[in-house]
Structures are given as C-alpha cells and as structure tokens.
Amino acid sequence: MRTFALLKPEIVTYPSLCWQVLEKTLTAGLEVTRARKTTLTLAEAGKLYAAHKDKFFYERLIRHITSGPVIALELQTGDSTGGDPVARWRQLLGPTKVYRTAYESPNSLRGAFGLTDTRNVGHGSDSPQSVADESALFFDTLTPTNDDACRPSKSDLFQLIFGDLHQQ
C-alpha cells in the first residue's frame, strides 16, 4: 500500500526546509517510490482540491497551491516498519490547524514548519481512493513500480530539491 503526499510552495521554495521535511519523512519509516517537482495550473489545483470547492477557504487554497513549485511524492512504509502509509504520513504531518498543532503536536511537520492553516507544509491523501485519484494527477501511471532501480535515490531527491544550487 502507498500514499500520496504533496509538499506545498512555502516549503519547496526553501530547499533547506524542504530537505529537513524529507529527512523527517524518511526517518519516520516512509520510503519515496516516486517524486515529481512541478508548478500547478489553476485547473490542476481545482482537480486536486475539488472536494473543498464549496468551502470558504477554497479560493485561498487554490491561490496558494499555484503560487510556486510543489513536490508530489508517492510514499510507502519501509519493509521493516510496515503499517499503513496513509496514516503514518498524516500523523507525521499533524493536524491541519497549525496554531493548535504547535501545542498538541509540536514535533509534527506542521508543528515545526507550518505557518498558517493554508501554508501548512503539505497535503496527504486520506483514503486509498484519494491516493489513486491524487496520484493520477501527478504521475503518468497508476501502476506503482516494485523495481528498486526505478525509485528515486536520496541523491535524486537532493537534486530534485536543490537543483543546481548545490553546484554553485
């Protein structure tokens, strides 16, 4: 089983913070099976957050998620750790409400790096169906690979986050 995770612009724009988030993700026993850096169009963002279309925060969420680059990740639990990757990623993220999270779950990603309820580090699928739907928006095929040679290495992820910055 896998999950879909999306790192939002306020994290991706700052490579050193993004790397810290990725390191915490790997330390929590989640492995990256696919990764893609992109900037969403309004139409793509609308598909991603279609479930929130009638909510008061929808426009703010769409404006934010299209304001800069995002990194889409497909995650699975490591062989030795097992468990549900959807639940593990959502627990690592922490509750959506950042102010409350800072007190209730300060070691979560949102507790450590979240700025507001919208600028809250990332997004996580909440069910197997949303994993399939959301992954399909970012990755060419819904068939995940079991081939370790096709998975991004830590070096690949570093390059994805830092790009040419580390060569300067």
27 in a labelled binding site: no
57 in a labelled binding site: yes
120 in a labelled binding site: yes
34 in a labelled binding site: no
- Beta strand spans in the chain (E): 2-7, 30-38, 70-77, 122-124
Cβ pair 32, 157 in contact under 8 A: yes
96 in a labelled binding site: yes
Residue 123 among the catalytic residues: yes
Given 52, 64, 123, 166, the catalytic residue: 123
**Cα distance between residue 72 and residue 135, in whole Å:** 8
**Cα distance between residue 21 and residue 19, in whole Å:** 5
Residue 166 φ/ψ, nearest 5 degrees: -75, -10
36 in a labelled binding site: no
Active site residues: 123
Output the known binding site for ATP. Answer: 8, 57, 90, 96, 110, 120
Output the known binding site. Answer: 8, 57, 90, 96, 110, 120
